[in-house]
Structure 1
C-alpha cells in the first residue's frame, strides 16, 4: 500500500519528528495486536530512515528513496520471521554487513519482522548489536507478542504500541483500499491486515458461510463428512480457526449475553447442545489438532471428521 492506514498516521508523524530532530532511537520496537499494521508501518519507517534529506524525509526524490522504493537498497537488511524462525547465522550475516559504512546516503537500517521468532542464539546475537550499535545504524523490530522477547532486548529498545482501529475504521479502510466488504467476517477477525490477506484467499467465502454450516450440522441438516469437506488443503487452518472463533464466541455469549448477530444462530445452537465446559474442551482439542496438522502430513479432512465425531 502506498498510503498508511489512518490509525497509523499520527504515529508515523511522530517518527518523522524524531528523525528531523535527531531523536530517533537506534532501536525501535513496534508492537500491537497481530494484523494491525506493524509490518507496513515498519517498512514505511525504513524509507524514512534511509532518505538522504533528513529535514523532509522521505522526500521520494533522492537516490536512496528511489532505490528503497524499488526494494533494492543495499543499506537495508531484513530478517523476516513471518515464515518461520530467525536463526543465529542470519543475524550474524546481517550484523557483519551493517558493520561497514553506508553504501548510499547516510544511514543503515536493520528491519526484523516478527522479532519474537528469533531463537535464543539469534536473540543473543542481536542483543550484542543493540548494546554496541554500529554508527549510523537503526534497528526496527516488529512483534505482536513482546512478552516473548528477552527482557534485555526490550530494555534496549524504544517501544511504540500501535492502536487497534474500530470496526468502522477497518471496514471503511478495506473497502476504500481493496474494494472488499469484510463486514460479514468481523466475528472472525477485526484486524485489518489479516482481513486484507483473507480477502484475496479462498478462505474468504468459506469463512462467511461457516457459521451457517455449523448451525446446520448441529441441527442435523448436514452430514459430518459434508461439513468437514468444506475445508480443503489450502484453507484448513482458517477452517479450524473459524471453529475456534465460534466456540469462543459461544462461551462469551453465555457469560455476557452479547453476540455478533451474524453468528448468534450458531452460538445458540452450540449452547443448546453443550455446556461451557464441553465447549472449552473442544477449544483445547481443536487447538491441539491444528498444531498436529502443522507438523505432520495427516489427512486434514479425516482428522476434522474424527474431531467433530467426538463432539
Structure 2
C-alpha cells in the first residue's frame, strides 16, 4: 500500500518518541510485543523504526533514506531486517520460519548496526513455531531485536508475552482519523463514513476505500433495512 506520508503518524508519535528515547539511551529491550486494533499501522510503524535503527544519519528522529544503510538492499529491503508472516497458501507461521530466524540472528550484521526481526500477525504462530521462538527469546544475543505485531495478543502463549516489553498502538480519535484520511483518499470518498465503518482505524478505512468495501457494506445495510421493514423479501435480498 503506497502512502503519501510515512510513519510515525500523528497518533503514533508518543509511542515513537518513547521507543526512540530507549534506543538512544541504549536501553532497547530484546523483544517487543506491539498490539492494537487492525488498521492502526503497527506494521508500518515497526518497519519505519527498524529503518531508523539502521540509519547512519537520522533526520529529526526518522531514517534519512539517503545514507549507505538506508540504500542497502534496495527494493528488496535491508539485509539486517527480516520480516516473518503467514506465507501465501498457509494458515499459520511455521517452525521452519522461526528456525530461519535463529540462523539470521547468528549472522554478522551487514550494515554494522543491529539485526531486527518483525513478526507480523504473531498470533498465527503454530505451537511448534511459538516454542522455537521462546527458545530464541530466552537466549538473546547482542544488538538483536524482535518485534511481534498482533491485534490478538491474548492468543499468544503467556510464556511469549512475558518475555516481551509490551507496547500498545493507540486508536486515534475520530477527528484525527478523519483528518488523516482526508490526506490519503480521493475527493469523492467520504472520510467520516470511512472512519466510522473502520472504527477510527485509519489504515483499515483506507483499505475499505480502495477495495470498495464501504460501498458493499452500505449496500448490505440498505438491503438489511429493507428486509427488516418488510419492503423486500429474502429472495430479493440474496
Q: What aligned pairs does 1:1-311 form with structure 2 within 5 A after superposition?
A: 1=3, 2-4=5-7, 5-53=9-57, 58-67=63-72, 70-81=75-86, 84-179=91-186, 180-190=189-199, 191-228=201-238
1:155–1:108 distance in 2 versus 1, CA, 3 Å: same
Q: Distance in 2 between matches of 1:53 and 1:152?
A: 37
Q: Distance in 2 between matches of 1:181 and 1:152?
A: 44
1:152–1:100 distance in 2 versus 1, CA, 3 Å: same
**Equivalent residues of 2:194, 2:209 under 8 A apart:** no
1:61–1:135 distance in 2 versus 1, CA, 3 Å: same
Q: Distance in 1 between matches of 2:120 and 2:87?
A: 7
Q: Give me the TM-score of the superposition, normalised by structure 1.
A: 0.67
1:143–1:168 distance in 2 versus 1, CA, 3 Å: same
Compute the displacement of 1:102 (Å).
Answer: 0.7
Q: Distance in 2 between matches of 1:82 and 1:144?
A: 18
Deviations 1:62-109 (A, max 9, x none): 211123673421111111138631000111012112211112232111
Q: Distance in 2 between matches of 1:125 and 1:164?
A: 32
Q: Which runs of 5+ in 1 are unaligned?
A: 229-311
- Bigger proportion of residues as helix: 1
**Equivalent residues of 1:26, 1:139 under 8 A apart:** yes
Larger radius of gyration: 1
Root-mean-square deviation (Å): 2.2
1:77–1:31 distance in 2 versus 1, CA, 3 Å: same
Choose between structure 1 and 2 for higher RCO, CA contacts under 8 A separated by at least 6 residues. 2
What is the aligned residue count? 228
Compute the displacement of 1:17 (Å).
Answer: 1.5
